[in-house]
A and B are shown apart, each in its own frame.
Chain A
Amino acid sequence: MKIVVCIKQVPETNDVTIDPVTHNLDRRGLAGVMNPFDKNAVEQALQLKDADKDAEVVLLSMGPDDYAESLREGMAMGADAGVLLSDRAFAGADTLATGYVIAQAIKQIGNVDLVLFGRQAVDADTGQVGPIVAEFLHQPQITYAASLRLSGTNEVTAERLLEDTKQTLVATLPAVVSVRSELNTPRYPTPRNIQLSFAKPLTVWHHDDLDLDDSRLGQAGSPTIVTKVYAPEPVKRELTPLTGTPTEAANQLITALKNRQLI
């Protein structure tokens, strides 16, 4: 079984600004760490590998050279190999353009049975790349998985946890699954495995190493632009106090609701 885990390196701080010119997240000068949600995806893949010694776990990331640090961390946790997609042509990509390049890389890796994502990245918080990759690959997808197991001869079963509901979904492999942090507790890389991870293959694929449609790449291939990141101001609403006895207050409430044609 071949499992690809897509990981992202994110700034260690939450204090991220927007570049006024490119409108992209400005990560310059910020120390990077592996997106915490992605560690749950790596751990899930490693648990599948623990149960099936023939399973192969490949980590995939897209970004500048220093994103290799997060790949290496995942390899120190136990992944077999890492692939970094790095080229100026990929810079400025939104989730669609990112998903396109990642999907093309997964096709190039070949014979991938399961693609895992963390639920979302903590810097951009979209959670979109996993589903986009599934669409590009024409594969079934399960998002927000809080449990995951291989089932049948060629299936994955996951419990999808949403705000107020749980769904148990079964998908035929190959499939794409994004996982929640409730799924597991990621293991620590041991000091020895940190050292040994540097003997594992970490490949960098540039633009010319992949079969790509240039019109889908980078900023030119990105239909969305982030113009501003902010916490919404709380909306101030008009308050009408209910007064009098409980009966009078209830009558006022009923009248107000009727006037607004809510009852």
Chain B
Amino acid sequence: MPSTTAAAEKLLLQMVDDYTAREIAPQDMPMDAAGDFPAGFVQQLTTTGFLGLMLPQEFGGAGFGPEVTATALNHIARGNASTAVTLEGHFKTIDQILKFGTPALQQQLLPSANDRIFAFSMTEASGGSNPMGISSTATREGDHWVITGDKIMITNGGLAQVYCVLVKTAPQELSVFVVDQDMPGFSFGKREDFIGLRGTPVGEIVMDHIIVDDDHLLGKLGDGGMIGDSAHDDARILMGAVLTGIMEHELKIATDYAKERKAGDKPLTKLQVTHRKVADIAMRKETTKLLYQRAAQLKAAGRPYSEEAAMAKAHGSRAAVSAGDDTLQILAGYGYSREYPVEHLIRDARAMEIAEGTVEKMRSAIANAEFNK
């Protein structure tokens, strides 16, 4: 008999596959065309309990571990990457509250993470990959903090109700506070019109003198940079999983088409040019899968995983774009058509060469990790 954990994980993935096939995949193309989740889509995800998938059971969640959580997003992304990325943004934020929040803050906030989407916001017009360039501040006034600033390009921005925000608490000191959309002074700004992952809202929040107590500080004053890095690490594992799902989708499109289509009298499956492309797509998919699973295993074991997470995202994002390009070439004119999903899978994958740290930044992180060994 399998262990309880293995049996539960098998049942979870069975449910994820069933839900993805019935409820998520049919929305993939309409979502890309509409540039948003369909009405009721997020509510249905919530009702089905996806938001609490990795939230510990003491907070009302399911408490699944890092490996199967990543695998679940991998499977969801086979049907639609935007849905998986929205969950990724939610899960990485929960992870930081679990790692750095006080027990009181966790008790206050986390039970609502089963019903409300959480988001982590770092980027500003004045700073993306350079956190010290941000201008949002939290200023001490009496026994509380006053937060002011403008955060942009937030995954789930506008959809999420709870935000971890990176601010300056001193000219050279970064800290993270948690704010809620219901707080006075909180408002939403514009939503980005991105070319990929078009279901996932990416938007702006404006904080105009939001007042919070000390208990809304994550970690200690000055921990902001470290917490931001941690959020990136957790997100990058999940993005590796999402990218694997995109490539599995691309591979299926490529092989299904090649099995049916002939060039002259020869089936595409008999052409060496097809073999090379399909083999490359399969190898890119499999290497990315191994990388994100390796990073998730290290995380589950309590060991460092920053470098492996960066590898999963840096390798996987370019791999998925290239795999999409090869898939498009196999389908030729059909691949270039909006009637087929290939072109939007390329746009979806392309987002992840930028989000959660650019691939250039990933390579610097990986190289520096190697120099330090």
Contact = CB atoms under 8 A, between A and B. Distances in A.
A195 to B, nearest CB: 5
A208 to B, nearest CB: 20
B11 A194 contact: yes
A76 B11 contact: yes
A65 interface: yes
Interface stretch (A109-117, A142-150, A166-174, A183-191): A183-191
Given A72-B7, A198-B4, A191 B60 contact: no
A192 interface: yes
Interface string A205-218: 00000000000000
B57 A192 contact: yes
B348 to A, nearest CB: 24
Contacts of A198: 4, 7-8
Nearest to B49: A190
Nearest to B52: A192
A203 to B, nearest CB: 14
Interface residues of A, number: 18
Interface residue SS majority, chain B: helix
A62 B64 CA distance: 30
A69 interface: yes
Interface-centre pick from A190, A193, A197 (highest chain B CB count, 10 A): A190
Interface stretch (B14-22, B125-133, B208-216, B233-241): B14-22
A73 interface: yes
A22 to B, nearest CB: 25
Range, interface on chain B: 20 to 34
Contact of B60 (A69, A72, A73, A192): A192
Given A65-B1, A72-B11, A188-B48, A194 B19 contact: no
Nearest to A193: B49
B50 interface: yes
Given A188-B48, A195-B8, A73 B14 contact: yes
B10 A69 contact: yes
Nearest to B61: A192
A196 B52 CA distance: 13
A191 B4 contact: no
A72 B15 CA distance: 12
Contacts of A194: 8, 11-12, 15, 62
B197 interface: no
B251 interface: no
Given A195-B57, A198-B8, A188 B64 contact: no
Interface in B122-150: none
A191 B60 CA distance: 11
Nearest to B51: A191
B63 interface: yes
Interface string B45-73: 00011101100010011111000000000
B158 to A, nearest CB: 25
A72 B4 CA distance: 11
A191 B14 contact: no
A73 B16 CA distance: 13
A65 B1 CA distance: 8
B11 A73 contact: yes
B8 A192 contact: no
B15 A188 contact: yes
Contact of B48 (A190, A195, A196, A197): A190
A97 B8 CA distance: 32
Contacts of A190: 48-49, 62
Given A65-B1, A69-B7, A192 B19 contact: no
Contact of B53 (A33, A65, A191): A191
Contacts of B1: 65, 68
Nearest to A66: B1
A73 B53 CA distance: 17
Interface in A57-105: 65, 68-69, 72-73, 76
B73 to A, nearest CB: 13
Contacts of A197: 8, 11
A195 B4 CA distance: 9
A169 to B, nearest CB: 32
Nearest to B50: A191
A250 B149 CA distance: 88
Nearest to B18: A188
Nearest to B60: A192
Contacts of B63: 192, 195
Of residues A191, A192, A193, A197, which shows the largest number of chain B Cβ atoms within 10 Å of its Cβ? A191
A130 B48 CA distance: 31
Contacts of A192: 49, 52, 57, 60-63
10 contacts: A65-B1, A69-B7, A76-B11, A191-B15, A191-B64, A192-B52, A192-B61, A195-B8, A195-B64, A196-B57
Given A190-B62, A191-B62, 14 more contacts: A33-B14, A69-B10, A69-B11, A72-B7, A73-B14, A190-B48, A191-B52, A191-B53, A192-B63, A194-B8, A195-B8, A195-B63, A198-B4, A198-B7
